[in-house]
Amino acid sequence: MTTASKTGPAPPLVLTPYLFLLPAMLVTLAVVLWPVAETVWMSLHNFILFKPRNVPFIGLGNFWRLLNDEVFWLSLGHSLVWISLVVSLQFALGLVTALLLNQSFWWRSLARSLVIIPWALPSVIIGLTWTWMYDFNVGVLNDVFVRFGLIDKPVAWLAQPTSAFLSIVVALIWQGFPFFAVTILAGLQTISAELCEAADIDGATRFQRLRFITLPAIADVIATALLLRTIWVANSLDVILVMTGGGPGYSTYTLPLYAFLKAYSGMEFGYGSALAIMLTLLLLLVVFVYVRRAAKELDQ
């Protein structure tokens, strides 16, 4: 089939694309694929960093230990609540923002630029500025809430289990809703104006237009954004690390944070690796769905 009449120049050597890919593959191999293989290896050993000569093979011992580890189940539970709360609220706020920004008014492009700002900030700053606002003694949130009569006296937001957890959720919503807003906005702008006008002429109310025209038209965009964000939120641990470090007690532990702390502070690299692999396995389904959608692009 490929030897059909060739009038143009000879096709480039088949080797060319592989050569072009070589540098990227080498880097990836060194810093991603090899380390991941190493993680699998470590998870099967009792690897403790300061005992490099004594690394016994323990098979699935780490995973067995994990099933009986209360903190693992606690972290997993937190992770699930954390993901569903953060992603759904980021999405809700992002959708509302996008619908507002999709109308025409004079300060629209300014609003669009300003709303996007939290997205650009590093998580350490997000942790810092929210910790500062939640401050017990002179924090601005306590001041505002007391002034408006919402609370009688200042609350130590980050020092109590439930409020600490919810406080971090709020900070994460702040960081992530701009992503939903701009992504959904980009989707909204592809909806033809004629379609809305036709519905308008047919007497559809604004809610009906939203329900039957707008939302179905951007369903794909929303699904992709939700999948991406779920993966991202499930993996993120830096804001929690900065704001509470998991505390008070274990009340803000999530799975990636637990894995990280086990390795970083506990020096238990074997067990930390097992936790990381567990997280990956749990996420695999979401990643799989996302990749299948994105892979439709490949054959363009």
Partner 1 sequence: MTDRRSPLQRLFELHLPLLLIVLFALGPYVWMMMTSIKSNADIGAWPVRYWPDAFTTEHYHALLERTSFGVNLLNSFVIACGACVLGLSVSLPAAYAFSRYRFRGRRLLMTQFLVINMFPIVLIIIPLFVLMRNIGLLDTFIGIILGHSTFAVPFSIWMLTSYINAIPKDLDEAARIDGATTLEVLRLIILPVVMPGLVTTGIYIFVTSWNEYLFAMMLSGQNVRTVTVALQLFIGEFSVQWGLLTAAGTLIALPVTLLFLLVQKRLVSGLTSGAVKS
Angle between helices 255-264 and 70-101 (to 10 degrees): 130
Instruction: Report yes or no: 269 and 258 within 8 Å, Cβ to Cβ.
Output: no
And the tokens for 104?
């025409």
Nearer residue to partner 1 within complex by CB, 58 or 196 = 196
Residues 105-124 that bind partner 1 (CB under 8 A): 105, 111, 113-124
- Alpha carbon distance, N-terminus to C-terminus of the chain: 21
Q: Long-range contacts made by residues 78-84, C-beta under 8 angstroms, separation at least 24? A: 78/165, 78/251, 78/252, 78/253, 78/254, 78/255, 79/234, 79/254, 79/255, 79/256, 81/165, 82/165, 82/169, 82/233, 82/254, 83/230, 83/233, 83/234
Query: Quick check: 139 and 133 in contact, CB under 8 A?
Result: yes
Least Cβ distance, residue 12 to partner 1 (angstroms): 5
* 247 contact partners, CB below 8 Å, separation of at least 6: 164
Stretch of 5-13, 68-76, 84-92, 161-169 contacting partner 1, by CB under 8 A? 5-13
Residue 192 binds partner 1 (CB under 8 A): no
Q: Which stretch binds partner 1 (CB under 8 A): 54-62, 69-77, 159-167, 289-297?
A: 289-297
Phi, psi of 57 (to 5 degrees): -75, 125
Examine residue 38 and tell whether it contacts partner 1 (CB under 8 A): yes
Binding-site residue total for partner 1 (CB under 8 A)?
A: 108
**Is position 285 an interface residue for partner 1 (rule: CB under 8 A)?**
no
Of 1, 4, 14, 285, which one interacts with partner 1 (CB under 8 A)?
Answer: 14
Q: What angle do CA 50, 56, 58 make, to 5 degrees?
A: 125
Residues 207-266 that bind partner 1 (CB under 8 A): 220-221, 224-225, 231, 234-235, 237-238, 241-242, 256, 259-260, 263-264
Q: How many angstroms separate the CA atoms of 120 and 170, rounded?
A: 17
Report the residue from 190, 203, 207, 285 that binds partner 1 according to the rule CB under 8 A.
190
Tell me whether residue 73 or residue 220 sits nearer to partner 1 (CB atom): 220
Q: In this chain, which of 1, 3, 23, 202 binds partner 1, going by CB under 8 A?
A: 23
Question: For residue 174, what are the contacts with CB-CB under 8 A and spacing of at least 6?
Answer: 118, 126, 130
Q: Minimum CB separation from partner 1 for residue 59, in Å?
A: 19
8 binds partner 1 (CB under 8 A): yes
**Cβ 5 to partner 1, closest distance in Å?**
17
Instruction: Output the smallest distance, CB 64 to partner 1, in A.
Output: 20
Minimum CB separation of residue 120 from partner 1 in Å reads: 4
Q: What letter would DSSP give residue 48?
A: B
Nearer CB in complex with partner 1: 165/274 = 274
Can residue 24 be called a binding residue for partner 1 (CB under 8 A)? yes
Residues of this chain, 64-103, that bind partner 1 according to CB under 8 A: 93, 96-97, 100-101, 103
Task: Name which of residues 41 to 60 contact partner 1 (CB under 8 A).
Answer: 42, 49
Transcribe 246-264 into DSSP letters.
T-STTTT--HHHHHHHHHH
